Copies of this chain bind each other. A is one copy, B any other.
Amino acid sequence: MRRVYVLGAGITKYGKSPFSARELALEASRKAILSAQLSPSEIQAGFVANAFSLSEKQGHLGPIVMSGLGIPDAPASTIESACASGASAVREAWINIGAGIYDCMLVVGVEKVSQLDTITATTYFSFGSDYIFEGACGASFPGLYGALARAHMTKYGTTELQLANVAVKNHENALLNPNAHLHKKISVEDVLHSPVVASPLKLFDSCPFSDGAAAAVLCSEDYLRLKGRTLSEKILIRGSGRAGGTGALHQRKDLTTLGAAVLAGREAFNRAGLSYKDIDFAEVHDCFTIAELVAEEDLGFFPRGDAAKMTEQGVTKIGGDLPINPSGGLKAKGHPVGATGVGQVVEIFEQLNGIAGERQVKDSRIGLTHNVGATGGSCGVHIFELT
């Protein structure tokens, strides 16, 4: 495997958009290509991360995006792993370039769901679960993550107030992110008094349905040299991990951890030759507040049962010892399903390049992304280093 770099990154505003998936994907792609200081014709191939474009009557997004960029000959497949589609697509591009198949690729994640009413959107999302055992029985994701939260509370004494702390922090971070979906300062009381969605999870414990797109241009070391770019101050993909878990929760032994995240994290750390201690900040998959705590424990950042306390103590704030979700996370930056994992990479790119504005994490050289599909049927973890 050759070394692979992130050469450029671009993102649309997350939120309710009047634009189609096609248009959103093109906006993010053009921004990423511009950020890489390339022209579209230099892109050799790509991947599109998307889960629900059929709801907009459009599949086969690869040629739609590539044609829109004026490079129809460049092949692009769609990769879907429910909410982890983005991380999966980034990983496959990393492997394609690492293997020497291509030197310069585009990865773009996109989702457009605001044309669906909330019930239909929730139903569509539940197709990412093991539908015949979960979605069809009314167990959509708020209920399933509610079960994870209840298990964590039972085993470790985690409280609803501690969950609320995660939401408050991520809303604060999103206020500093112009592309975030939710720009709303909230208090712990706001969270605790918001409507119950699936006990113990409330509305403000939950991420919104978002439209949006995010893109990254990945390239080989040879390509950087060819283009006369220096290798210093470039973002290296230092490690990557990917793992699976059972489709349905009833097949799990323990609901306080996602096995896929543990395994994907382990693979990423092994490939990077690093440990959790080397990570300066991370973007993790906080589709619900409980998910951020579980992620921190699955990745080994904190001992089991300690993540809530660490959040309470401010360790995971921007300015804390280990900032988590400086972008605002899925919780407040938003969660356009196919885009989410690629959007995490955009945040890492901006942070490591020191262009994250008011939410800049100081003195960071190594960042991690953690992107989960459904309740951990899939997980992708990537580690990035400013070389």
Residues of A within 8 A of B (CB): 1, 22, 45, 51-52, 54-55, 57-60, 62-64, 66-67, 72-82, 85, 88, 92, 95-96, 98-101, 124, 127-132, 135-136, 242-248, 251, 259-260, 263-264, 373-374, 377-379
Contact = CB atoms under 8 A, between A and B. Distances in A.
A203 to B, nearest CB: 25
A101 B130 CA distance: 27
B51 A59 contact: yes
Nearest to A127: B59
3 nearest A-B pairs in the assembled complex, by CB-CB distance: A63-B377, A99-B99, A60-B82
Contact of A377 (B55, B62, B79, B100): B62
A245 B72 contact: yes
A73 B131 contact: no
A337 to B, nearest CB: 10
17 contacts: A1-B99, A1-B101, A54-B55, A59-B128, A60-B82, A60-B127, A64-B247, A67-B130, A67-B246, A67-B377, A72-B251, A73-B260, A74-B243, A77-B81, A77-B85, A77-B92, A95-B95
A290 to B, nearest CB: 20
Q: Is the interface of A mostly helix, strand, loop or mixed?
A: mixed
Contacts of A130: 63-64, 67
B136 A57 contact: yes
A73 B124 CA distance: 25
A62 B378 contact: yes
Contacts of A75: 242-244, 260, 264, 378-379
A73 B252 CA distance: 11
A374 B80 contact: no
Given A52-B54, A73-B244, A82 B95 contact: no
